[in-house]
A and B are shown apart, each in its own frame.
Chain A
Amino acid sequence: MSNAGGMSTVTRYTDMLAGNTVYPGDNSYESIATATGTGSSGVMTFSSIPATYTHLQIRGFTKSTSSGSNWKVQFNGDTGSNYANHYLESNGSTVSAGAELTQTGMNFYAATATSTAASVYAAMVMDILDYTSSNKNKTVRTLSGVDTNGGGNNDFNSGLWYATPAAITSITITLNSGSFDTNSKIALYGIKG
């Protein structure tokens, strides 16, 4: 590695969240599982999530086989109207903000529809904070988007699951339309405190 100004000291950062919180210590970020699209299902589920971490991070790179562009995220199989989310979104010219309350899942812009450029995939980084707590509702933050060379969106979201303060043991991600194509991947990571 080199740079035009020369290399001097080496600095170790342990920041991995989409925001800016720093978590100290080595081996504090671990890969738990990865789901890959099949081309025939719009659902990916992470189950039996170990309770040995402080936070979770989901990193997605997904495309729908049809017009789907949103993930619906649910915890512990709860399909009730126990979720809410807020969004701040841009499309290259305008900015919009809004809220979706009393939802059956948290809705995040996180996939590319088939109608967009064939090889372009949306990206998502989602942080699920303090997921093992049994006395706090669960808050999520996301950074996501896709640029299609003249189109696309850039999103910044928060989400809430308020049905129960129970620890999260499973996460279900469902496309709002179509299936995850075979190059789609969603990876789950654990961050130790």
Chain B
Amino acid sequence: MPTSTYTPIATNTLSSTAASVTFSSIPSTYTDLVLVIVSADSAGAFNQISFRVNGDASTIYSWTSLYGNGTSAASNRESSGSRTYGTIAWNSAQNTTLGTSMSTAHFMNYANTTTNKTILSRSSNSANAVETMVSLYASTSAMSSLVLYSATSARLFAAGSTFTLYGIKAA
């Protein structure tokens, strides 16, 4: 018997600029998490959305990207040691207008305690780029909290940016 799922867990709409957004006490009752971000950059500059799981600041995050900028396609990678947080959108905003940048990230099998966590994301920035990214949080810990970071303190998430977290439960 099919069961309904894809349940909104929480939504944050920023009433003012913010350097970070936190989802805490994430229930472990789902199979996957889906994060939908519609954002802009307060400085109208290149921006990057990074994340940290469970407050873990160790160098166990990495990512591989595929992106196009209207002229060419390219791929980048970042491995452990260079950052202490992961990235789900590398090229997420280029201006201050809300709605010009959106990202969807799939945190697969996030609550299991056997495997590392793989995250698939796709970002669309109407100003300059389209991108997909696969990220790794190399821990077997279940995800119970998630903090999203803007690239630098000078480049904040703009007021009005929305961050919605959904849970999907497999049969």
- Report which A residues bind B (CB closer than 8 A): 1-16, 18-20, 27-34, 50, 59, 61, 88-95, 117, 119-125, 143-150, 152-154, 156, 183, 185, 187, 189-190
Enumerate chain A residues within 8 angstroms of B108, measured Cβ to Cβ: 59, 61, 121, 123
Do A89 and B168 touch across chains, with their CB atoms under 8 A apart? no
B109/A185 in contact, CB under 8 A: yes
Query: Across the A-B interface, how many residue pairs have beta carbons closer than 8 Å?
Result: 217
Q: Looking across the interface, which residue of chain A has its beta carbon closest to that of B80?
A: A149
Given contacts A5-B17, A143-B122, 7 further A-B contacts (CB under 8 A): A5-B157, A7-B13, A7-B15, A20-B102, A90-B73, A92-B76, A152-B136
Known: A4-B20, A121-B116. A185 touches B64 (CB 8 A): no
Residue of A nearest to B118 (CB): A123
Q: Sort A-B residue pairs by CB-CB distance and give the 5 closest, nearest first.
A: A92-B77, A145-B134, A90-B75, A5-B18, A90-B66
Q: A5-B157, A11-B11, A146-B118 are in contact. Are A123 and B134 (CB under 8 A)?
A: yes
A25 to chain B, nearest CB (A): 11
> What's the nearest-Cβ distance from chain A to residue B11, in Å?
5
What does the 1/0 interface line of B1-29 toward A look like (CB < 8 Å)?
A: 01111101111111111111111110000
User: CB within 8 Å of A: which of B20-63?
Assistant: 20-25, 31-32, 34, 36, 60, 62-63
Chain A residues in 8 Å Cβ range of B25? 1
Give the nearest-CB partner of B156 in chain A: A5
B-chain residues with CB within 8 Å of residue A152 when the two chains form the complex:
64, 134, 136
Distance from B140 Cβ to chain A, minimum over Cβ atoms (Å): 6
Tell me the complex Cα distance, A92–B122, Å.
16
User: Which chain A residue lies CB-closest to B60?
Assistant: A149
Q: Are B138 and A154 in contact (CB under 8 A)?
A: no
In the complex where A121-B118, A143-B122 touch, is A29 in contact with B14 (Cβ < 8 A)?
A: no
Q: Point out the residue from A88, A120, A143 that lies within 8 Å of B136, measured CB to CB.
A: A120
Are B2 and A91 touching (Cβ within 8 A)?
Answer: no
Contact residues in B for A2 (Cβ distance below 8 Å): 12, 22, 24
Residue on A with the closest CB to B106? A125
Residues of A within 8 A of B73 (CB): 88, 90, 95
